[in-house]
Amino acid sequence: MSDRPLLQVRDLKVHFPLRRPHPLAPARVVRAVNGVSFAMMPGRTFGIVGESGSGKTTTALAVMRLVAPTAGHIELDGVDLVPLSAAALRPLRRRFQMIFQDPFSSLNPRMTAGAIVREPLDLMAVGTPGERSRRIAELFAAVGLRPEQQRLFPHQFSGGQRQRIGIARAIATRPDLIVCDEPVSALDVAIRAQILNLLLRLQREYGLAYLFISHDLGVVQHMCDDIAVMYLGRIVELTDRAALFRRPLHPYTWALLSAVPGAAAARGEARVRLAGDPPSAIDPPAGCGFASRCPFAEPRCRSERPELRDVAAGHWVACHRVDRAGRGPHEATPQPAAAVPPAWSG
């Protein structure tokens, strides 16, 4: 396996302009992603977690070039995707594909399942027509679908089966990277484990790398090797799975992990409730975006934005209150009583 990152994202920004209520109104933008950087290695799973509105899905869509980056670089195996035109990008799309969140709306209802899986092979002229037909049969078997189901339409499948079709479509061109945007959140709980285990098996068999987007930390713990925690368009903590779940350093990560069954108890901690809502991405605060909800915030947090820094081997965090010894504020400071109620509410 290569020791060079397969995907490297540097200072990615995605801003969406808002419509002006009248011509003289000042221009405003939503800073959905506001300076995100990370690297992921071949064959590994890199997870991005956070609340709704944190920017994780927009980051995934920007990596796929399904939304236009405002600034920054997205390098796939050393090739920057940001400046490429649609025509120049097309040959590279064989190498990175996407599994969407909703298997009900991501499949064309007018196409058969076989045609849906075959479509990327036809669009990218992969192999001969005969080779494509054999490839479709292999893909249906790989994801646990029967050969005769190629002739059925999406409405004739269950939700889990539709997601299997989406997975088969994603791996059809033998990509190196698959972006998984909440791939099991729309499925019944009983089906989720089957789909997650299918993704793990395909990763082993095909050597896939996954960029895995989720708000479910239990799923992330099961799937991911490395994890970035996003808040208000920025990464606030980044490390490997073991370090994050054993010892979260950022107060936001600490609060998120307290909602995972057994995670807080394993560290001898109570569950945490955060008051209030995240600030607006239209007018973000000058300092730390989490300061208004953080039980450990001090004046510096509200005026000076913390930069993402390496506080331990491979453990990055953006928090003024994490000290030089790499201790989070919840470790170095007694927990405020208001921040530790008996149950999670957020």
7-19+27-227: what fold? Rossmann fold (3.40.50)
For residue 300, the model assigns a pLDDT of 95
CA distances from 143 to 55, 101, 137, 209, 229 (A): 30, 17, 10, 17, 30
pLDDT for res 271? 67
Can you give the residue ranges of every domain in the chain?
7-19+27-227, 249-339
Tell me what pLDDT residue 338 has: 39
Stated pTM of the model: 0.90
Residue 82 · residue 73 · CB < 8 Å: yes
Q: What is the pLDDT of residue 333?
A: 58
316 contacts 308 by C-beta, under 8 angstroms: yes
Report the chain (346 residues): mean pLDDT per 10 consecutive residues: 87 94 84 96 96 94 96 96 94 94 90 96 90 95 96 95 96 96 90 95 96 93 96 97 94 88 60 79 92 92 95 93 88 52 32
Tokens of 151: 């002739």
